Amino acid sequence: MEKKLIQKPINLVKVVLFGPESTGKTTLSRQLARHYNTVWAPEFARTYLQKKWNNERKICEKEDLIPIAIGQMKIENKLAKKADKILICDTDLLETKVYSEEYYEGFVEDDLNIAATKNQYDLYLLTYIDTPWEEDDLRDRPELRLEMFTAFEKALIENKRPYILLKGDKETRLKNAVKAIDKLVLTKENLYSFSDSLPTSEMSLLDQIPTDSGLEIG
């Protein structure tokens, strides 16, 4: 398997936002990062594909999937070292695999398939399609939202991933997500904390690290 797709081991509660486009994943990622005073790993595919669209007026192609997956794991592994007990991931490689299967008639690169199965997370937050569709350059298939949601949930079930379904407004989703995450934190010992690794002289600098954007902490 491609080494760059490997999830580096670190003792954190890792939570993945999972589901179709325009279902509030990024909004909830930011909310959870602020709530737990930690960082969140943004979706690399959006940056990668927006640049491709801007420069070439082309959408995602098969050959983009591995670079997207590599970029996603680079972000996750980097930000895991700056997390405090909990890492919020706006997506993961299993989601990339679902899109590959749905858009390319079941096609999945072997390395992506292996990594998506091997990399592990403590909880998936499956976001339902009861949110307004927001159009942009990259989003498509608004008429297939239910079909895409079904594909995402099926992937979680088939891969035996722990998940909860989130519906309702932003406050309800946040409340239910926090409740589930809090239970997980209580079950794990000696969780890694970035703040614990800092000398006292640098603690004041920690307060300056934004927790509402994974990209901003560098």
Q: What percent of the chain is modeled with pLDDT above 70?
A: 85
**Least-confidence region, from 23-27, 174-178, 198-202:** 198-202
| CA gap 144, 136 in Å, rounded | 16
Residue 38: Cβ within 10 Å count: 24
The CATH number covering residue 138 comes to: 3.40.50.300
| CA gap 118, 130 in Å, rounded | 31
The pLDDT confidence band at residue 48, using thresholds 50, 70 and 90, is confident
Domain contains 126: yes
Domain contains 213: no
Domain range enclosing 145:
3-187
